[in-house]
Each structure stands twice: as structure tokens, then as C-alpha cells.
Amino acid sequence: MPQDIVPLKRALISVSDKTGLIDFARALDARGVEILSTGGTAKALREAGLTVRDVADVTGFPEMMDGRVKTLHPAVHGGLLALRDNAEHMAAAASHDIGMIDLLVVNLYPFEETVAKGASYDDCIENIDIGGPAMIRAASKNHAFVTVVVDVQDYPAVLAELDANDDATSYGFRQRQAQIAYARTAAYDAAVSGWMAQAIGDEMPRRRSFSGTLAQPLRYGENPHQAAAFYRDGSDRPGVATARQWQGKELSYNNINDTDAAFELVAEFDPAQGPAVAIIKHANPCGVARGATAIDAYRRAYDCDRTSALGGIVALNTALDAETARAITEIFTEVVIAPEASDEAREIFAAKKNLRLLTTGGLPDAAAPGLAFRQVAGGFLVQGRDNGHVGRADLKVVTQRQPTAAELEDLLFAWTVAKHVKSNAIVYARDMATVGIGAGQMSRVDSTRIGKRKSEDMAEALGLAQALTIGSSVASDAFFPFADGVEALAAAGAKAVIQPGGSMRDAEVIAAADRLGLAMVFTGQRHFRH
């Protein structure tokens, strides 16, 4: 049976991240704890005036092979693994002069950081820690007697535990630390295996792992009865995980999900070609537009569906300025995310205490490869991030009528937006702004009708003579299986259509477009989004 309280008399400290190291070691030394150490850690401790015993003195072997071999020795692992209440274990330790180690403090070589910096294959390999994970696993397995620390943020907790137990640790504390340690080595191995699969071009490795570090617990998930938390995966992709939050209450599960959807959409539009704004509700766009200025783009996006925009997420591909900030505060908005925000814009938002403002310092690369995964019963699905893109050169005109230059611009704009709309997706666009969006319906015809009706409702609200779908260009995320979808678009007033093509009834659909006077182009690329 594990002992509940174990005195802490001897510690082995070997860390890559030396944040807080000296103060922590001094606190241990003041409690009479003997400190063993290695390499750069031992050097830093000695320079701080602390008494340190080299692990090499304990093992009888010098550090060798550029430090690859230093702690892989029975004198170390025996001190970590020996069961203190097992007479045979303690007799073996005594006969081989193996001292017990009560505390292991190890943080690992910075493999993840090395990969994130774009280091070479050889440099990444050299930053794979071997002795560290081995010691962590040994200490964690023997948490009945040994405390293990893998994160610098746990130093205060260790000292508080020692204060509470007369320089000893409790079993419950050691259990919690062991769990933290195993999670760290699991994440480390996941990072190594994932990187190596990518490095050798294995798109479907036999085993696949994902890991993350807790960013914040959340009040609940999609609904109040669901527990939830937000984890960061360590990547440097600009977005909600890397953003600075300037104000407002903590983001909710739905806030984070929707903000990510909004920023990934708006990042499709190059700021060098002008401002763009996306307004998102329930992970679907309710308005997207480009404009001469940010406020122009925002107004045009807002006018697509003012009703749905209430309580939505606003994303910009350029800096948030004061004029746009004032416009956004005219209605209730949950979150605004942008690469930057001016001081004046932040001051305007400060009057809206519940409005969250996030800045990211940049935009994610919409063309960058990556992985997406989703849980299913008994497993999970993994696929590449949808970084598909088509340009004018990729389009194939299949109808008698050629689209005009303006229609082509709107078609490509609508196509880009449709990539981020839940299937079945229909996006009406005019002058580089959405004017009607139908999302998430089981029938593509229904999505077509919903987009039309939303446009009609907005025309009435704005006092327009007719819905802006009349004369619009339309994108469909997948092919039309029957001519009825094209007929519904024509009824809505559309004049040009972009779609993947590839249906058994393409000829029937094209014939319907010709009969109705529509221009139609094929992309050869689908964008289902379930």
C-alpha cells in the first residue's frame, strides 16, 4: 500500500526551461533537500551559489555522446522506481549503493518549439528527448513514493505542499502530478510521431494522436449540461487560440467555435486587395463583403442579413479602425476579431464591457495544409484541412452564355464564401458582397429558396424596389443533381452560377441553364462542409 505522506529529502533536477529554477531550487535547499542535477541545469544552480551533486558522480559514468547518455542508468532509475515498502527492493538498492529520489523535476527538450520554427529534419531529431521521458515515466509509475514535476507552473504548488506537510508530500498530490506528467509525455510523443509522419510523407500512419494544453476551462459546452474546456495544440496559426483578448468576459464554447469560423473565412481574402468583413452566426456566415474601406465592407456584410447578424461574430482581414468600431457597436455583437485594432477603436469598445475584442497580429494562411479531425463512435475521422482554391484559369464555362467580367468576380467571391457555409450551401453575391445565403439544408433547392427569401426580407427592410438576388451571381458548394436547383436559382433572379460539376445529369442541368439564359461555370472542386 502506498504511504500517504513521504518526506522529501532528495531531488533530481534536469530542465530545459529554466524559468523559476533558481528560486525553486533555493526553496528546496532551505528545506535541507539534496539536489542532483545534470549539464546546463547543474551549471546554472552552481552559479547561483547552490550545492549540487552531479548525476555523473552518482552513476559513475560521465555524460557522453553530446549529452545523449547521462541519466539512463540503474543508479538513477533504481532511485526512482524502488518501492520503499518492499524489503527486496530496498536490499537491492542498499547492495548497489542506490539512493532514493523523492522528487523528479524534468521539462523536456523543446521539440514542439523547434518544429514550429521550421528547423531542419536533423535539428528536430536532436531535440527529441530520451532520458527525460524515461525518468518521467519511472517517477510517475512510482508515485506512491515519488513526486514528479514537468511544468514550471507547478513549482509553487510543490512548495505549498511541503509547507502543508512538514517538508513531505501527500499521496493525492503525487497522484495529480503523475497524471500531469503522463499527459505531458503523451503530448510529446504525439508531437514527435505527428511531425515524423508528415516529414516522411505518411498521410495515413498506423496510429494517430492529437494533444493539447489547457487554455481555459469553459462554463459549459454547446449547452449548459455539457462540460467543456478549450485546449491549444501548440501551433502558431493566427486565430482565436493565439489571439490577445483586450476586453470582455471569457469566451464561451460557441464563441470560440464561431470566432474561428469567422476568422478562417475572412482570411480567404487578401488584405492587399482591400478590406473584407465576415459576420458569423452559429458557424455560418450571415454576411460577407469586400469594400473600399473596412466600414464599407462591414455595412455591406451587415445588409445581407441584419436579423441574423444580431449577437454575431465579426471578423476583419484588416485593422479595426475607429469608424468601423463605432458602426459595430450600433448593435449587440458578441466578438470582434481582427489582425490589429487602433487605440481609438479599443477606446470605443471599452464602453461595451461585454463585447470581446481579439487581435491576432496576422491572418492564417488559407492555402496552408493541415489536419482536421472529428470524433465518431469508436474512433475519429481525420482529413486534410480544406485549403482548396480555384482561380479564373481553373473555371470551365459550360453554357452558351459567357459570364461577364463582373459576374466572374462575383462568382469567385461567392465560391470562396460557399466553402465556409454548411452544406447544402447556396450563396448569392453582387458587387463582391453576399446578398442571400442558404445553409445547412437537406435539399439544395431549399437552401436556394432560403437565400432568396432572406434577400427579399432585407430588400423590404432596406426599402429596395426588389431583392438583390435579381441579377446576382450564385455559388453552390456541390453539383446540382437535378435541373430543379437551377430553375429555383433562375426564379430568384440569378444570372450566373458557379458549381463543381460532375453530376450524372450535368447535361440536363446545363440545358436548363441555357434555356433560362444563365451563364454557368464548373470548378471541378467540391466544398462540402458538414
Please give the positions annotated as active site.
141, 282
End-to-end CA distance of the chain: 51
User: Does an H or E element contain 427, and which?
Assistant: strand 426-430
Q: Name the burial class of residue 201, with classes exposed (0-12), middle (13-18) and buried (19+) by CB atoms within 10 angstroms of its CB.
A: exposed
Q: Are 37 and 12 in contact (CB under 8 A)?
A: yes
Pairing mode of beta strands 228-232, 213-218: antiparallel
Interatomic CA distance for residues 282 and 385, integer angstroms: 20
3-class DSSP state of 491: helix
Interatomic CA distance for residues 182 and 180, integer angstroms: 6
Pairing mode of beta strands 496-499, 473-476: parallel
Phi-psi region of 425 (alpha: psi -120 to 50; beta: other; left: phi over 0): beta
Interatomic CA distance for residues 254 and 220, integer angstroms: 10
Query: What one-letter code names the amino acid at 326?
Result: R
Q: Are 31 and 162 in contact (CB under 8 A)?
A: yes
Interatomic CA distance for residues 115 and 54, integer angstroms: 31
Q: Are 37 and 51 in contact (CB under 8 A)?
A: no
Cell of 484: 430543379
Interatomic CA distance for residues 193 and 188, integer angstroms: 9
CB within 8 Å of 272: residues ≥ 6 apart: none
Interatomic CA distance for residues 141 and 28, integer angstroms: 23
Q: Longest Cα pair distance anywhere in the chain, in angstroms?
A: 96
C-alpha atoms less than 13 angstroms from C-alpha of 201 in its C-beta half-sphere: 0
Phi-psi region of 51 (alpha: psi -120 to 50; beta: other; left: phi over 0): beta
Interatomic CA distance for residues 417 and 377, integer angstroms: 31
Pairing mode of beta strands 433-438, 426-430: antiparallel
Interatomic CA distance for residues 482 and 500, integer angstroms: 14
